[in-house]
Amino acid sequence: MQTIETSIPGILRVVPKRHSDPRGYFSEVFRDDLFRAGVADLAFIQDNMSLSREVGTIRGLHFQSEPKPQGKLVRCLAGAILDVAVDIRVGSPTFGRHVAVELTPENGEWLWIPVGFAHGFCTLVPDTVVLYKVTDYYSAAADKGVAFDDPDIGIAWPVEPAAAVLSDKDRRQPRLADLPTYFTHSA
Ligand SMILES: Cc1cn([C@H]2C[C@H](O)[C@@H](COP(=O)(O)OP(=O)(O)O[C@H]3O[C@H](C)C(=O)[C@H](O)[C@H]3O)O2)c(=O)[nH]c1=O
């Protein structure tokens, strides 16, 4: 398993090893021991999966607040996504900045998103399936969000906001400037 740093410290691309042969390939896509040794000494206790039927479906930007914050390990099982993580840790030198990475079954990468970041993605092809492992259980009370099209974040989504397929919830998320302090940066 290879890890690749991104423009924001802490957010990592995680590339499992593939054993290719004329049939195709085999890959151990996740191993607890390798993740703990190479990324973070954390346990994943819930796996999530979503299907998005249309191109230009945007889910996010979401995070869970204390006492149920979630680290997320995200991969694309079918289709393709632009996966985005935004630093929402007040006091962070990269506060408000984001990482955007294309995840596909072909590149087989995970994106590791620690606690303190909002997460979202946009589908690039129809019938896209995303799997992600999380480090705490879902809590509706802790489920929070930031506006996907916040100009202060400035994500270059591959779809115009007006044309995006969104949940009602994601049409009315607050801007970053209006967000309470959920996370602070510890140097
Ligand atoms: C996240 C979650 C949701 N739900 C229920 C709540 C709703 O009744 C339904 C759809 O939830 P939501 O509209 O929040 O799903 P997404 O818009 O795909 O949100 C997710 O996608 C973005 C990209 C994320 O990073 C978050 O993990 C997650 O919020 O599933 C559950 O029962 N368990 C869960 O863990």
38-79: pLDDT as tens digits:
999 999 999 999 999 999 999 999 999 999 999 999 999 999
112-169: pLDDT as tens digits:
999 999 999 999 999 999 999 999 999 999 999 999 999 999 999 999 999 999 999 9
Residue bearing the CA closest to ligand 1, atom 3: 138
**136 domain-assigned:** yes
Per-residue confidence (pLDDT) for residue 147, from 0 to 100: 98
Scan for tokens 């996010």, then name that residue. Answer: 60
Using only C-alpha atoms, the chain has a radius of gyration, in whole angstroms, of 16
Does the pLDDT at position 82 exceed 80?
A: yes
Asked whether 121 lines ligand 1 (CB < 6 A), one says yes
User: What is the distance in A from the centroid of ligand 1 to the CA of 8?
Assistant: 25
Helix (H) or strand (E) holding 174: none
**125 domain-assigned:** yes
Scan for tokens 């589908």, then name that residue. Answer: 123
Per-residue confidence (pLDDT) for residue 156, from 0 to 100: 97
The encoded tokens of residue 142 equal 């802790």
Does the pLDDT at position 6 exceed 90?
A: yes
**17 domain-assigned:** yes
Q: Active site residue: 62, 98, 119, 182, which one?
A: 62
Q: Is 62 a catalytic residue?
A: yes
Domain enclosing residue 130, as ranges:
2-178
Asked whether 119 lines ligand 1 (CB < 6 A), one says yes
Helix (H) or strand (E) holding 35: helix 32-38
CATH number assigned to the domain comprising residue 66: 2.60.120.10
Asked whether 59 lines ligand 1 (CB < 6 A), one says yes
Per-residue confidence (pLDDT) for residue 186, from 0 to 100: 80
**184 domain-assigned:** no
**29 domain-assigned:** yes
**183 domain-assigned:** no
User: What is the distance in A from the centroid of ligand 1 to the CA of 20?
Assistant: 34
Per-residue confidence (pLDDT) for residue 187, from 0 to 100: 66
Residue in 46, 49, 59, 73 to alter for ligand 1 test, most ligand atoms within 8 A of Cβ:
59
* Dihedral sign (CA 25, 19, 10, 63): positive
pTM of the model: 0.97
The pair phi, psi for residue 146, each rounded to 5°, is -130, 150
CB atoms within 10 A of CB 33: 8
**48 domain-assigned:** yes
Residue bearing the CA closest to ligand 1, atom 26: 62
Q: Is 138 a catalytic residue?
A: no
For the CA atoms of 169, 82, 104, 48, the dihedral, rounded to the nearest 10 degrees, stands at -30
Q: How many independent structural domains does the chain possess?
A: 1
**94 domain-assigned:** yes
Per-residue confidence (pLDDT) for residue 139, from 0 to 100: 98
